[in-house]
């Protein structure tokens, strides 16, 4: 059954859909379209509308080119909209989850993730915004106010919208949990230290955050990718990069002063900008929006104190090794080790000998998972736990649905999302996986409600020093340090 349902907002009335167990409202504008002179500026207020605005279809995805890991494409800059999902039974004071999608900082859209099960199972309101990505979200240039933070500012605008409007949907604006996966989790880490985000959320969940604290050795993010710095860019460095890229692509005439250059850049067609998006995924620090690198601020305790959850999937790097499309071989494995770890390569090879693994690609995926994902997330969790209540998890379903055809899936990067959300054309879960999915959503929403994932009928989830393993029929403690050889990696590059 589907019926129309209306809500009166500050800027006008919207009409969404009432279904059997939930209501959904999609494509709600939370800021003005960042087009023309508003491109690469802080989000501006929405222009109020008269009549009833249809909110039954999602707004356009942020501009992006399709990738092998994400089929969505768009050149529509009018993308600052959000979706709201709420249980059908009217009630005030529900906890609010704000979902920040992943996609490498260049791709994906909120509507990919249908949060009905999350909302209904946990009796919460779920808000999912779109925000600027890639070259439109994280670009920098001399003279550009807010260089490298436009995506972050969009998310802050969405959180302010939640503060003003969410009570109209039965949500509690004083109980907001910010949840992000992958690049979305990276931006959650930024919000924890951004002055303008203070008070806009009250708990946070970081799922599979990458590169938040330190550098990543060559090839351990993906075979063929050189060593990576932390995922934060000094604003001066980003502006220098942006100026060079603008000249290289012919967007700006050489010798232009900053004001003229920015005017030229705002006239460049979106489709011409998108090929450069991959160079602009690192939020910039050193300006008013993000004064300090979170890599320095988080371990030092300079962040907004609140309950936190964070974790990884057990086989994170299988996604990226499979995505690379170039299998690791017995001959290339020693070369990758040498380029990643230098004088320590032999020690790593002895710890991860090829005869322990079905294929060299799986061996490299285990090395990469342990060094590039498990070690830094464990270190981040330990640093955060020194200052605030912190709960850690590992998604560990070894039979999770296949994301990269032809490559053994395991619990690879992003595989937990099919358990939390309904994905378009997504895989069917077995009965045991459905039970795990319900348990995970109960943990996540209990955390949103109380700041602690403890939930009646589910295994206990202690705090500091405990990692909760999440697998069908096997929820409980895991020795994360031993499983991922973290004592070994603590003395490696």
Show which residues are catalytic. Answer: 182, 316, 413
Tokens of 284: 């910039």
- With a CB cutoff of 8 Å and minimum separation 6, the contacts of 293 are 230, 232, 234, 285
Distance between CA atoms of residues 217 and 363, nearest Å: 16
Distance between CA atoms of residues 243 and 239, nearest Å: 6
- Give the 3-state secondary structure of residue 202: coil
Burial (0-12, 13-18, 19+ Cβ within 10 Å), 193: buried
Distance between CA atoms of residues 129 and 312, nearest Å: 23
Give pairs for 459-465: CB < 8 Å, separation 24+: 461/391, 461/393, 463/385, 463/389, 463/390, 463/391, 464/385, 464/390, 465/385
Tokens of 152: 């972050």
Distance between CA atoms of residues 440 and 452, nearest Å: 13
- With a CB cutoff of 8 Å and minimum separation 6, the contacts of 103 are 64, 69, 70, 133, 182, 183, 184
Distance between CA atoms of residues 384 and 402, nearest Å: 33
- With a CB cutoff of 8 Å and minimum separation 6, the contacts of 184 are 99, 100, 101, 102, 103, 207
How many helices (H) and strands (E) in the chain?
17, 15
- Give the 3-state secondary structure of residue 465: coil
Distance between CA atoms of residues 229 and 262, nearest Å: 28
Distance between CA atoms of residues 114 and 137, nearest Å: 24
Measured from the Cβ of residue 29, the count of other Cβ atoms closer than 10 Å reads 23
Distance between CA atoms of residues 311 and 207, nearest Å: 5
Distance between CA atoms of residues 187 and 159, nearest Å: 13
Distance between CA atoms of residues 397 and 410, nearest Å: 7
């Amino acid at each position: 059954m589907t019926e129309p349902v209306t809500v009166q907002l500050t800027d006008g009335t919207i009409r969404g859909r009432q279904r059997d167990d939930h209501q959904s409202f999609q494509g709600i504008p939370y800021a003005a379209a960042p087009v023309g002179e508003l491109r690469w500026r802080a989000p501006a207020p929405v222009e109020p509308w008269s009549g009833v605005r249809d909110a039954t279809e999602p707004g356009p995805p942020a501009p992006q080119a399709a990738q092998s890991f994400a089929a969505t494409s768009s050149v529509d800059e009018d993308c600052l909209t959000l979706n709201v999902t709420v249980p059908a039974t009217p009630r005030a004071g529900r906890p609010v989850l704000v979902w920040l999608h992943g996609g490498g900082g260049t791709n994906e859209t909120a509507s990919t993730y249908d949060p009905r099960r999350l909302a209904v199972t946990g009796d919460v309101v779920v808000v999912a915004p779109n925000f600027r990505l890639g070259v439109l979200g994280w670009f920098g240039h001399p003279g550009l106010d807010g260089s490298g933070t436009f995506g972050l500012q969009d998310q802050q605008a969405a959180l302010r919208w939640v503060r003003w409007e969410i009570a109209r949907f039965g949500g509690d604006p004083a109980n907001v949990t910010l949840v992000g996966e992958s690049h979305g989790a990276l931006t959650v880490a930024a919000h924890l230290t951004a002055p303008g985000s203070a008070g806009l959320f009250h708990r946070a969940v970081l799922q599979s955050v990458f590169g938040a604290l330190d550098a990543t050795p060559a090839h351990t993010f993906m075979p063929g990718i050189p060593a990576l710095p932390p995922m934060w860019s000094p604003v001066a460095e980003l502006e220098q990069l942006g100026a060079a890229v603008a000249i290289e692509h012919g967007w700006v005439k050489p010798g232009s002063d900053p004001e003229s250059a920015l005017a030229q850049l705002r006239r460049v067609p979106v489709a011409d900008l998108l090929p450069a998006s991959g160079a602009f995924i690192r939020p910039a620090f050193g300006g008013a929006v993000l004064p300090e690198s979170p890599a320095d601020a988080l371990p030092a305790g300079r962040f907004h104190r609140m309950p936190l959850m964070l974790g990884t999937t057990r086989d994170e790097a299988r996604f990226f090794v499979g995505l690379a499309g170039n299998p690791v071989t017995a001959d290339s494995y020693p070369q990758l080790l040498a380029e990643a770890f230098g004088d320590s390569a032999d020690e790593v090879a002895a710890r991860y000998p090829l005869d322990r693994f079905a294929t060299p690609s799986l061996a490299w995926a285990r090395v990469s998972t342990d060094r590039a994902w498990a070690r830094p997330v464990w270190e981040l969790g330990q640093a955060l736990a020194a200052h605030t209540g912190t709960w850690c998890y590992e998604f560990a379903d070894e039979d999770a649905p296949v994301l990269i055809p032809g490559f053994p899936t395991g619990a690879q990067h992003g595989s937990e999302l099919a358990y939390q959300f309904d994905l378009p054309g997504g895989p069917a879960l077995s009965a045991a996986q459905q039970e795990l999915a319900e348990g995970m959503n109960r943990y996540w929403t209990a955390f949103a409600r109380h700041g602690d994932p403890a939930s009646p009928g589910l295994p206990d989830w202690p705090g500091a020093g405990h990692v909760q393993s999440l697998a069908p029929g096997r929820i409980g403690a895991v020795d994360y340090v031993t499983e991922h050889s973290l004592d070994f990696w603590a003395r490696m590059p």
